[in-house]
Amino acid sequence: MKFSDNFLWGGATAANQCEGAYLTDGKGLSLVDILPAKTEKRNEALFDPKQALATNYQYYPSHESIDFYHHFREDIKLFAEMGFKVYRMSISWPRIFPNGDDEQPNEQGLKFYDEVFAECRKYKIEPLVTINHFDTPLALFKKYNGWTDRRLIDLYLKYCEVLFKRYKGQVKYWLTFNEINMILHIPFLGGGLDVKSTEIPEQLKYQAAHHQLVASALATKLAHEVDDENQVGCMLVAGQTYPYTCNPKDVWAALNADREGYFFIDVQSRGYYPSYADKIFREKEVELEWAETDRRDLYENTVDFISFSYYSSRLTSADPNVMEKTAGNIFASLKNPYLKTSSWGWQTDGLGLRITMNQIYDRYQKPLFVVENGLGEKDLVTPEDEIHDQYRIDYLRENLRELGAAIEDGVECLGYTSWGCIDLVSAGSGEMSKRYGYIYVDRNDKGEGSLQRLKKDSFYWYQKVIATNGKYLLEEDD
């Protein structure tokens, strides 16, 4: 198992799940800012945003979150102590353009990220920036129904131009959209759109996706024009789908399930819609509107690398009688009897990461970046303020060993940023108690707590993994 000397070890967060300070220094509302906690039916709100907007909830987890906005110096210092080489974070679009279509950017918002990047540079941590991580300004949802409207492309590009110019020399790695295929599953967070009252929701979702794909291509072009050092990646919710049996019908179902996500990366990496797209559109009664220049823009501006999130593999069957399901990252999967399951129903499959990496690399032959991976679990703080999260270490070790094996297989991988390196608010459930971090944050599901940061056992473990450039993964017993 050989990680290259410049392998980028680190962790990942997103502005909308950690910053808090939801109206501070001129920030506009983010999509998540109207979503309640799990106890107040967050899931319903996620799929009925108009209703959510009209409701006064008791508690909004994103409003304060872990208050990274006021703790970033302390937090980045802890990342440095673990030895991070890279920190994946996102910029909050409504912090820069509060309404999304403002004439001028919000200087205070820009200044905040100046300070964050300076802090990273102080410790020689390379920022990896997601430009839009579930964070289209809420005002654009209200005014345009989000990405269904083609005007979002220009608004996004204006935002990108501000970022590329302002942070030139500070940031070199960019991701255009977090988990771009999520727009099909959580359209409100993925693209600021409401599909509830539409007759053909797929029409709106794929049209919005098309706009994002064109925007991503044009942002890639712009990033390269502003600074030829810039490296731009796409970002996919990955996780190989296994067939439930060797019945060819199951194999065919699994192949098609994976195509749903690869569809996006095919466009971003190859520069054109895949051959199977027409059939999908026919079956779903989707008729896309294209501008004359779209085909050219997609073709000429493909991404430099491919990033993805991986939490688990998935399982599918063509037989509707195979029923036993389990939860996964937003969409459920059939339960795989060979795998362990977390308290939230997500399954652990380290080898699935190796399979997924080989599959993606075979398909695109571009460098990969694993930008999300991790285990969301409840943690217990002892009276001595210790957190013994051996379950998390086990999950991460299993996954990282397989990542190393994929590199041995010949897969080119730039780095690894585990998700939620510091505890933050869950995107799916709004809970704090679903913790992924190496760093514990004292805050509960009701928003109570001191916000104090504590180091978990996994903090010291990851520190050793990074210090030995992965060798420590092999020194340990299972």
- Tell which residue, 7, 62, 69, has the closest CA to residue 36: 62
- The structure tokens listed for 433 are 């108690």
Nearest distance from residue 136's CB to ligand BG6, in Å?
A: 14
Nearer to ligand BG6, 67 or 372 (CB): 372
Nearer to ligand BG6, 145 or 181 (CB): 181
- Tell which residue, 71, 220, 133, has the closest CA to residue 419: 133
The H or E element spanning position 156 is: helix 151-166
Q: Say if residues 147 and 191 touch (Cβ distance below 8 Å).
A: yes
Count of all residues that appear for the chain in the document: 478
Nearest distance from residue 68's CB to ligand BG6, in Å?
A: 14
Q: How many CB atoms lie within 10 A of CB 253?
A: 17
Q: Say if residues 316 and 244 touch (Cβ distance below 8 Å).
A: yes
Contact residues for 331 (Cβ-Cβ < 8 A; gap 6+): 185
Contact residues for 44 (Cβ-Cβ < 8 A; gap 6+): 51
Nearer to ligand BG6, 83 or 190 (CB): 190
- The structure tokens listed for 424 are 């933050």
Measured between its terminal Cα atoms, the distance across the chain in Å is 16
Nearest distance from residue 316's CB to ligand BG6, in Å?
A: 19
- β-pairing verdict for 8-12 and 413-419: parallel
> Active-site residue 19, yes or no?
no
Q: Say if residues 100 and 155 touch (Cβ distance below 8 Å).
A: yes
Binding footprint of ligand BG6 on the chain (CB under 6 A): 14, 17, 178-179, 309, 329, 372, 376, 419, 426-429, 434
Q: Say if residues 144 and 90 touch (Cβ distance below 8 Å).
A: no
Nearer to ligand BG6, 99 or 341 (CB): 341
Q: Max Cα separation, the chain?
A: 65
Nearer to ligand BG6, 184 or 286 (CB): 184
Contact residues for 298 (Cβ-Cβ < 8 A; gap 6+): 213, 214, 217, 267, 271, 272, 273
Nearest distance from residue 208's CB to ligand BG6, in Å?
A: 18
User: Under the phi-then-psi rule, with left for phi > 0, alpha for psi from -120 to 50, and beta for the rest, what region is 40?
Assistant: alpha
Task: Please state, in angstroms and as integers, the Cα–Cα distance from residue 390 to each residue in 78, 395, 478, following that order.
Answer: 20, 9, 11
Nearer to ligand BG6, 19 or 294 (CB): 19
Nearest distance from residue 331's CB to ligand BG6, in Å?
A: 10
Nearest distance from residue 344's CB to ligand BG6, in Å?
A: 7
Catalytic-labelled residue, pool 372, 398, 402, 431:
372
Nearer to ligand BG6, 176 or 426 (CB): 426
Nearest distance from residue 425's CB to ligand BG6, in Å?
A: 8
Which residue's beta carbon is nearest to the bound ligand BG6? 428
Nearest distance from residue 419's CB to ligand BG6, in Å?
A: 5
Nearer to ligand BG6, 92 or 106 (CB): 92
As a whole number of angstroms, the distance between CA 349 and CA 221 comes to 36
Catalytic residue numbers?
372
